[in-house]
Amino acid sequence: MTFLALQPLSLDLLPAAVALDQRCFGGLWTLDGYQRELESPNSELLVVVEKAEGRLPKASADRRQETGDRRQEAEGAREAEGAKEQKHLDSTLEISPSETLREQNSKLSPPRSTPHTLLPTPLVGLGCYWAILEEAHITMLAIDPVYQRQGLGQTLLYALIASAHARGLERATLEVRVSNASALALYQKFDFREAGRRRRYYPDNGEDALVLWRGGIQTPEFSGRLRDWQQQVYDRLCKAGWQLDIDSDR
């Protein structure tokens, strides 16, 4: 049984995207903003959703128990989103898994002790990049706070880079807060390097942003790096009790 789906953002998920944005960033983009992004040929938006008939991983269940009010708020938001979301979405992101990984994926199963529950297909992750000339400018990488530290950010970042590679882009760039140690560690795993610094970039507290850069996306050896990262993603998700659903026929 599969529990997560990686796919492009669709119209029916726009309200859920806005709600996730509100939980993660306090409302970075509006509904109209997401609509414009979805309509732009230069914008790529990818999401991670939990399947309607799935299980809540033990780590998430424990974290929800510990966070109390935040858990109730998050579940209430998902319940409202679930009424607006379709039960199933047709299109999924092709990230070219090898046959070996597809076979491995089909054999993965959650731990027997993992509790099961019926969920309203929540959107738990959202990523976006803009294709500008030969560059993928990553503008957003958001994971629901309840689902963090389970490999979903790594999964989504991998998918964005794989998409940029498939699109023929040469490099990827992004900005990150200088204090965001966990994000910096994640980007370093994907060979991002510091290219500059934007002073007082974030208006909420005047914090500086580091400009990170990852080149060589179209070099011959990069395909090997993608395969390595893909294996790491599958291993990390499996360790957290997740199984990723990818439509390899698309």
Q: Which residues are catalytic?
A: 175, 187
Show the DSSP H helices in 108-241 as ranges: 152-166, 181-189, 222-239
The residue type at 160: L
Tokens of 245: 């659903």
Query: What residues form DSSP beta bridges with 44?
Result: 129
Q: 40: closest CA among 106, 130, 115?
A: 130
Rounded to 10 deg, the angle between the 14-25 and 69-82 helix axes is 160
Tokens 């974290």, residue? Answer: 63
Spatial CB neighbours of 167, under 8 Å, sequence gap ≥ 6: 44, 131, 136
Q: Which of 39, 17, 165 is nearest to 84 (CA)?
A: 17
Phi, psi of 14 (to 5 degrees): -60, -45
- Contact of 202 with 167, CB cutoff 8 Å: no
